[in-house]
Chains A and B, each alone.
Chain A
Amino acid sequence: MKRLASCTLVVAALVSAFSSCASDDGANVRGTSCGASSGSGSASGSGSGAGSGSCASSGSGISNQGSTDNVKVNEAVAAYDQWVRDQIDGLLEKTKVFTDAVRANDVAAAKAAFAPSRENWEAIEPIAGLVPDIDGAVDSRVDDFASVNDPKFTGWHRLEYLLWEKGTTDGGTPFADELDAELMKLKTEFAKVKLTPIAVAQGSAELIEEVSEGKITGEEDRYSHTDLWDFAANVAGAEKAFELLKPAVNAADADLAADLESDFDDIDAALAKYEEGEGYQSYEALSKADKGDMQAILGSLSENLAKVPGVLKLG
């Protein structure tokens, strides 16, 4: 999960019927980060009404406001919006395979289903963060808590801890149930969200920041070492957004579009070396030299993606 909890004061949040205002700094501080703006972001996660001067930045540090007349951008946003909804459907399906295995006390099957269940999530994580509180409940890491025994340490990584560190599914059922419930909530709540151009552009950049801050270090999936699955899914989500925005970026700044294209090609090629079966090798297989290359590619990607909102005159 992403631990950045920023809160931009904006006058009007143009998110239809829904203003997202979550901290994702773990359940223990849920809902507190945006309180300063308008008292929104209640612990229940319902947020305040649209247009009330509420905090429009999400738990993932991206904002979802504003609009543009740029037709190419609007087409991209519409297509991305649909793609995200498809990802959420896939997420529910694959996570159920995982949680069913936990409930059936099948450790091997649960371990096998863990990384695949996270792929769709990792592909859309910053966008999913527009719905408050979900990220903290499903994807916080143990570092967000004083200890593994904190009852608020829930979600995938709690189950990962049980499966790999304890070698058991014992005690996992409540966490599996909650994971399903939270993701179902994501689907219902996300139905009320209308994606804006800035969210798509920033979300793409945010996904690469996620990789640089957690996946390349092996912190995210520290028990299962399936970080490269998440890594690849983050990149896929960012790349999807870029592909859709490419005609618009190209029209505004052709050099930037070309640089981004080659950066994405490079990171795809770097990851391809680690493909295995349906997914990826263990994080521990990642060589130091390849890690250095990846750091540089991600660095370049981040610098370039950071320019996209400005180049498209968004925000």
Chain B
Amino acid sequence: MGLSRRRFLVSSAGASAAALVAGCSNGDGGGKAVATGDTVVASPRYLPFHGIHQTGITSPVPASGLIAALDVVRADRSDLARMLRDLTDEIDGMMAGRAYPATDPRLPALQTGTLGEKPPPTDLSVVVSVGASMFDERFGLGSRKPRELVTMPFMANDKLDPDRSHGDLLLTITADSPDATIFALRQLLRRTRGHLVLRWMVDGFNRRSAPKPGQAQVRNLLGFKDGTANLDASEEGLMDEHVWVGDEDGEPAWALGGSYHVVRIIRMFVERWDRTSLTEQEAVIGREKYTGAPLDGRVETDVPDYDDDPKGKRTPLVAHIRLANPRTRATRKNLILRRGLSYSRGFDGNGNLDQGLAFACFQRSLEDGFMAVQRRLDGEPLEEYIQPQGGGFFFALPGVNRRDGWLGEQLLA
């Protein structure tokens, strides 16, 4: 561990990770931008690790992501603490682009080498979250469980595979390309080999592009723009209002600055969807497919006016976006920060493609956020084309805001 490990200034309390993203380095002095087609893509950087929130929750939408759920085994509370320190050290080093010290070539090298001798900037970030099972009898953390954290229940339309659900610990690794996420995964697993075992994993992607005002960056595998009406993660006020657990929430003190983290592995029946008429598809979602405009508007940035359409003549009452966000004063508290990834993993026994959305969202309250939205979505017409098969409820740990701090420090203190 050289000095390079601590290349970034630790943020002062109060600065959010989102704000820090703007000030990060790409290792050779300032981020450049590369034009690809009609979008402008920022060149990859080393994202800052330190901050009061974990960086990867609000950093720009990643091109690649890997979500791995793990179980903690053969560990007591002090092993757990050591493991989290090791994780922190490795994540910090990788995000900062630390050069791994050379070792005697007769020994296994300290890094996989899959990104070369000195890993280049890749926008890498890792979000570490804990599941409800972390608060069972094993570590004596029962009294510290975030108030609303439960094992993800079985919900309508679900076909949850227990082998692809839940877990003690969730790693969400995001970067500009899959080789970078794989590098990070292998490094993290090596560092924690004796105490963490993989439970399930999903590998995903988004089209790599930079935001343009009023335009969503990506389309999901149904072909619809995804993220149009998402919360703007660079708006600190919005994040404080909807994403970060705060003082007034009655949560354990350690949880401040953290966030409830929901993952849903949602299979899409893409063959069936592709043979559905465009009109039907747009009615199911509630937006125009190509422009992303609401059905009562012209451009993507237009805001649907449901008051003016009480019978659902333009936007069906059961359209996905209308149920998900009825846009009333009362439902404002249900807003969530979505951060999904598309996935594709071969095909099933019927010869149908196994593709879908690794839906992920962050919120200050599980009940007011995901649960409220999901309850409204129950029975929506979109269900005919999708099937939740796994995932889990987690709590994204607060960020590390101290030079020698580590992820989970407050939780285990």
Contacts and interface: CB of A to CB of B under 8 A. Distances in A.
User: Are A and B associated in one complex?
Assistant: yes
A187 to B, nearest CB: 33
A310 B110 CA distance: 13
Contacts of A177: none
Contact of B106 (A295, A299, A313): A313
A296 B107 contact: no
A174 interface: no
Q: Secondary structure of the A side of the interface?
A: helix
Given A266-B74, A303-B190, A296 B196 contact: yes
Interface in A241-280: 263, 266
Contacts of A314: 106
Contacts, number: 42
Given A295-B197, A296-B197, A306 B108 contact: yes
B195 interface: yes
B107 A310 contact: yes
B73 A293 contact: yes
Contacts of A263: 194
Contacts of A306: 108
B275 interface: no
A269 to B, nearest CB: 10
Contacts of A313: 104, 106
B106 A300 contact: no
Contacts of B74: 266, 293, 296-297
Contacts of A300: 193-195
B106 A303 contact: no
Contacts of B107: 307, 310-311
A295 B193 CA distance: 9
A156 B49 CA distance: 54
A292 interface: yes
Interface residues of A, number: 19
Interface in B99-145: 103-104, 106-108
A315 interface: yes
A76 to B, nearest CB: 18
Contacts of B296: none
A295 B192 CA distance: 12
B367 interface: no
Q: Secondary structure of the B side of the interface?
A: loop
A307 B108 contact: yes
Contacts of B108: 306-307, 310
A292 B74 CA distance: 9
Nearest to B191: A303
A45 interface: no
B197 A297 contact: no
Contacts of A266: 74
Contacts of A35: none
Interface in B189-247: 190, 193-197
A300 B79 CA distance: 13
B190 A296 contact: no
Contact of B195 (A296, A302, A311): A296
Interface of B: 71, 73-74, 103-104, 106-108, 190, 193-197
16 contacts: A263-B194, A292-B73, A293-B74, A296-B74, A296-B194, A296-B196, A296-B197, A297-B74, A299-B194, A300-B194, A310-B104, A310-B107, A310-B108, A311-B107, A313-B106, A314-B106
Interface of A: 263, 266, 292-293, 295-297, 299-300, 302-303, 306-307, 309-311, 313-315
The 3 residue pairs across chains A and B that have the minimum distance between CB atoms: A300-B194, A310-B107, A310-B106
Given A296-B73, A296-B195, A297-B194, 16 more contacts: A266-B74, A292-B73, A292-B197, A295-B197, A297-B74, A299-B193, A299-B194, A299-B197, A300-B193, A300-B194, A303-B190, A303-B194, A309-B106, A310-B103, A310-B107, A311-B107
